[in-house]
Structure 1
Amino acid sequence: MGEGDATGPLAQALAHAERLLASHPALAVEQAAEILAAAPGHPVARLLQAAGCNALGRHAEALALAAPLAAAHPSWARAHLEHGQALAGTGRADDGIVAMRHALALKPDMPGGWRILADVLQASGDTDAAGQAYARHVRHSTRDPGLLQAAAALCDDRIPEAEALLRAHLGRAPTDVAAIRMLAEVAARLGRDDDALQLLARCLELAPGFHAARHNHALILNRCNRHAEALAEAELLLAAAPGNASYRNLKAVILSRIGDATQAIELYEALVAEHPAHPRLWTSHGHALKTAGFQPRAIDAYRRAIALDPGHGEAWWSLAHLKTFRFDADDIVVMRQQLQRPGLTQEARHHLEFALGKALEDEGDYAASFRHYLAGNTLRKATAPHDPDDITARMRRARQVYTREFFEARAGAGSQARDPIFIVGLPRAGSTLVEQILSSHSAVEGTMELPEVIAITRELRQRSASPWATSHGATAGARFGGRPAVRPRPPCPCDPSQGRRNPDTT
């Protein structure tokens, strides 16, 4: 049974009613009623009327329409789905679940059906079955035209359009975990990591088995220096898929960030043995080796990455950043050739510009070196905007607040522990050298430049001045489960290298 039974104007009227269902269910009900006046008893029109009533919460009306359809058409999946939703809406959840499961057995590729079933199971307290149903919803969500349109906008970096489409979709289907994950990606691309984490946490609350959302969650947690939580998420992912290269790489990245270079190196050694043609893995392996002090091995790893992809700018810059490493004439030729290569990404280009600048500086060609440094900084600024006026204003406020009197009034406050040693200084003032001197003592451990204080101050500024926090974040709590918005502290990962960041270049 379907719309193929209708032809001509009737088919057009039915198609119009179907389109109205998504955004204006009341108008869809009216359109279906007009069709039924012209074609009494038409089954598709009655189904559309039942669907509109369910969407409006008028489940008793929907039940009166859908029950006869389901009885008359035992193989019509949509009739059984609307019947089940109406049963659940009128307090007969168990009967509704049976009807919906029958519908989905007839036609498994109905993402909206799995979501509706998951919602009913969740409300009934069967969270395990609900999680499984949400997972099936995610599996089939690629067929959803609305999400396909939003995904296309995301891929084309049309962020405002993607956000508008996803918010409209979630207004109609607030538990669509696939859409929530996509909205989290929008938030992450806009630098709103708090909001992305909130959305991903809601995804995982609804669908604990949604591994792609958990992977995103772990990536952003790690980016926000919440490494223990990120590592816990990575372990959950690996428990479900121990051989997954992306999850193993993620764990290695996190271990590198928390200083467990030995375990990270073990993971990378296994990964590059299994995926020897992956330049980013070799680069990440090089980072871990460098951190552990194995500089010759790190150089070999970076060289392997460059041999696989001569345009892999991060590997070139990683060599340059070793300070004591010097490029030869052949390296300079290759870097110059790669900068002429069409299609080179902006990230690769700015890394190559910096590396070539360092190579020419070592050669004493300072004018050419400066040109490449300038080109690299220009490219970098386009992706990491720097506002000197903002920094000046913040420094001015700091001078006004942190006066001699401010500190005198707080004399003796704070922790009395003698073990943490903070080395504070302006860039290039020698703070790293002081740390190295101190950490050469057997009783002192150097922790490098800790990003936590910067992350905390950034979060506080975002809380006080974020339009997303006041609009998007607030509505997220209301839409995604009816809870007040929670703002915890802080695209599109299939590649084993995703989520990896070179701490020396960011």
Structure 2
Amino acid sequence: MSLIVQANLLLKQNQIKQAESLYRQLLTQNPNNIDALWGLGKVALALDSYQPSYDIFKRCVQLAANASPLWLSLAQSCQKLQRFEEAEQALLKAYEIKKESITTLLSLVIFYCQSNQLAKTKKYLDALFSIAPNNIRVFCLKVRINVQVILDEHAQSFLEKLTDKTNDLTQKEQVLLHYAFAQLYQQSSNYKQAFYHFTQANELQVLQVSFTVADMEDYFSQLIKAFSSTFIDKIKQEQAVNLSRIKKPLLTPIFIVGQPRSGSTLLEQMLISHTDISSAGELPFLAGDIAQGIWQLTKQEFPQGCAHLTVKQRESLAQHYLANMHTLAPKAKFIIDKMPANYQSIGLIKMLFPHAKVIHISRAVKDVSWSIFTNNFDAAEPYFCSMSEIVNYHKNYQQVMSHWQQVLPEFIHNISYEELAASPKESLTKLLNFCSLSYQEKCLSFENKSRHIDTLSDIQLRDGLQRNIARTWLPYQEYLPVCFNELC
């Protein structure tokens, strides 16, 4: 087996560092080995090193300008770096090279859908359908963006294939189809069949999960123990002493935290209408780079390692994070990191960024739990695809947030989706005041803009602020498990 085949196999198996070693070995033999360069770029992307991946892919397309997959990879990096115009050009270049590539057409449809460019979305979707009318991802995309809205003969053919026990569908294809049919049945008010397909999709996803929420409970306990009130008070005192020495950074991060499907994307879209605020989207840096940095500096994992960080080390980690954010938005004064799971890192955020703004957004527990259950998340996590696990995770989330409210009440601004929807101007005025910013009327006019939204809310938010999405679980009440009805 050749080195490049070995390296590609390791990358596919998520053995990132081993793959990187082989790619680098190949590049010492030939610095222009396009396959090794491409692989190294994919390694950088997998490690969330967006600028290095961009630089590598840029070199790739210079060396092999007629290879459409290289342009698709470049487009990925551009999107991660929030360079959407350049991403579009890279996608169109890939399309120009090979117009009948299903992968390229899918990428274009998704990109234009996320950018709210509906005419272009339809153009490439029509081209895609003409080439691959029986492609499962094409059909599911049509359902998701509300082009396919009825159970017609074409849809029935997919349903028959899905229900055929001898089908050759992959697990991922089955999941996509179950979510698609759940949406179609829901639109026709056939809630029994819709619930069946939601359940089947989730049960298939659970098969990909290797742990449970119960396995995480020790971590949550350690988190609360590590960031005790005594430790937090110590951090506050140190920061008060060093206040005159440490300059306020030019870039202030705003962390929007909470559970997924709580309204974080809605809030983000409102805030980035403000002239002083940009967004970097959902970033993995705190749980990735910074957590890795803590281990390297202290030889202890997060959160235990936090107690062993020196003031200098904390400053170094903060600068590393802010440098990454500056790359994404060089001219921003405030920049949003809206990774919901950063609620777990509020103590760390206080340690590293005393000037940061933390916004905790919540939503009625049954509404948010149902929304999680009925949406298809990319990550295979138990609290995304099992109602009992969603309920258990919510209890841990509540416990952790309750702890932060006790030890850092002044550091967190709390807002609910319901109050934001009911009184948007009043809610945003209070929030912006917390950020030391003044209210701007344009924050309420975010719909129908060609902004890129790459979350599950991309389609929903195009119609603006919606006040009628509460209690969408009610038609399913008779099918819901006991644990759901115990949520309060």
Do 2:185 and 2:194's aligned partners in 1 also have CA atoms closer than 8 Å? yes
Alignment correspondent of 1:212: 35
2:114·2:454 contact (CA, 8 Å) conserved in 1? no
Is 1:196 matched with 2:57? no
Partner Cα separation in structure 2 for residue 401 and residue 319 of structure 1: 48
Displacement, 1:204?
1.6
Going from structure 1 to structure 2, the CA distance change for 1:371 and 1:393 (only over 3 Å counts) comes to: farther
Distance in 2 (alpha carbons) for counterparts of 1:437 and 1:380 = 33
Q: Matches of 1:360 and 1:215 in 2, distance apart?
A: 43
| Contact 2:72-2:90 at 8 Å conserved across structures | yes
Aligned pairs for 1:13-32 (under 5 A) are none
Q: Does the 8 Å contact 2:151/2:184 carry over to 1?
A: no
Corresponding position: 1:265 with 2:88: yes
Q: Give the counterpart of 2:273 among 416, 440, 443.
A: 440
Deviation by residue 1:322-369 (Cα, 9 ceiling, x = unmatched): 5x7662232642541452573333322222222222222232222222
- Native 8 Å contact 1:261 1:289 kept in 2: no
TM-score, normalization: structure 2?
0.53
Q: CA deviation at 1:422?
A: 1.0
One of 350, 362, 365 as aligned partner of 2:190: 365
Gap change, CA 1:260 and 1:384, over 3 Å in 2: farther
- Paired position in structure 1 for 2:150: 328
Contact 2:132 2:138 in 1 (8 A): no
3-state SS of paired residue (2:35):
helix
TM superposition shift of 1:250: 1.4
**Equivalent position of 1:164 in the other structure:** none
Specify which of 101, 117, 132 is matched with residue 294 of structure 1: 117
Secondary structure of the residue that 1:209 maps to in structure 2? coil
Q: 1:312 to 1:379 in 2, by over 3 A?
A: farther
Q: Give 1:311 shift.
A: 4.8
RMSD: 3.4
Answering whether residue 281 of structure 2 is matched by residue 456 of structure 1, we say no
- 1:356 alignment partner, SS class: helix
The structure-2 alpha-carbon separation of the partners of 1:392 and 1:376, relative to structure 1 and needing over 3 Å to count, comes to same
2:64 maps to amino acid: A
Q: Distance in 1 between matches of 2:144 and 2:295?
A: 32
Identify if the C-alpha distance between structure 1 residues 336 and 282 changes in structure 2 by more than 3 Å, giving closer, same or farther.
same
**1:118-137 deviation line (CA, Å, top 9, x unaligned):** xxxxxxxxxxxxxxxxxxxx
The separation in 1 between residues aligned to 2:218 and 2:149, in whole angstroms, is: 41
Partner SS for 1:328: coil
When residues 303 and 450 of structure 1 are mapped into structure 2, their CA distance, relative to the original with a 3 A threshold, is farther
Corresponding residue number in structure 1 for 2:248? 416
| Contact 1:311 1:338 (8 Å CA) reproduced | no
Structure of greater relative contact order (alpha carbons < 8 Å, 6+ residues apart): 2
1:249 aligns with 2:72: yes
The structure with more helix, counted as a fraction of residues: 1
8 Å CA contact 2:69–2:94 kept in 1: the answer is no
Q: Gapped runs of 5+ residues in structure 2?
A: 302-377, 380-452, 457-488
Question: Which one has the bigger strand percentage?
Answer: 2
Amino acid at match of 1:362: Q
Instruction: Give the unaligned 5+ runs of structure 1.
Output: 1-146, 148-177, 467-499
**How far did 1:229 drift?**
1.0
Distance, in Å, in 2 between the alignment partners of 1:395 and 1:202 is 41
Identity of aligned residues (%): 15
Matched, 1:397 2:222: yes
TM-score (norm 1): 0.51
8 A Cα contact 2:26 2:33, kept in partner:
yes
- Give, as a single letter, the amino acid of the residue that structure 1 aligns with 2:56: E
Structure 1 match to 2:258: 425
Residues in 2 aligned to 1:254 and 1:421: alpha-carbon distance in whole angstroms: 23
1:382, distance to aligned residue in structure 2 (A): 3.6
Q: Is the 8 A contact 1:299 1:319 kept in 2?
A: no
Contact 1:279–1:306 (8 Å) recurs in 2: no
The one-letter code matched in structure 2 to 1:272 is Y
- The aligned residue for residue 276 of structure 1 is 99
Query: Per-residue CA shift, 1:206-261, capped at 9, x if unaligned?
Result: 33232212211112211222121111111222222111112122112221222222
Q: Report the Cα offset of residue 282 of structure 1.
A: 1.0
By how many angstroms is 1:438 displaced?
Answer: 0.9
The question of 1:387 aligning with 2:212 is answered: yes
User: Are the structure 2 counterparts of residues 306 and 241 from structure 1 closer, same or farther at C-alpha, using a change threshold of 3 Å?
Assistant: same
In the TM superposition, residue 271 of structure 1 has moved relative to its aligned partner by 2.9
Q: Please give the alpha-carbon distance, in whole angstroms, between the structure 2 residues aligned to 1:286 and 1:415.
A: 45
* Distance in 2 (alpha carbons) for counterparts of 1:345 and 1:430: 32
Which string of whole-angstrom CA distances, capped at 9 and with x for unpartnered residues, describes residues 177-231 of structure 1? x33x344344334433233223322322233232212211112211222121111
Q: Which of 52, 60, 76 is matched with 1:237 structurally?
A: 60
CA contact (8 A) 1:332 1:359 kept: no
Q: Is the 8 A contact 1:316 1:351 kept in 2?
A: no
1:245 and 1:304 map into 2 onto residues whose CA distance is: 17
Could you tell me how far 1:285 is from its partner in structure 2? 0.6
Does structure 2 retain, via aligned residues, the 8 Å contact 1:238–1:247? yes
Matched letter for residue 149 of structure 2: F
Deviations 1:260-313 (A, max 9, x none): 222222232343344332222111012221233213422443454344334544
Match of 1:352 in 2: 177
1:96-126 per-residue CA deviation (whole Å, 9 max, x = no partner) reads xxxxxxxxxxxxxxxxxxxxxxxxxxxxxxx
Answer whether contact 1:238 1:248 (CA < 8 A) is retained. yes
In 2: Cα distance, 1:216 partner to 1:277 partner: 24
SS of the equivalent of 1:276 reads coil
Q: Which residue number in structure 1 is paired with residue 433 of structure 2? A: none
SS at match of 1:421: strand
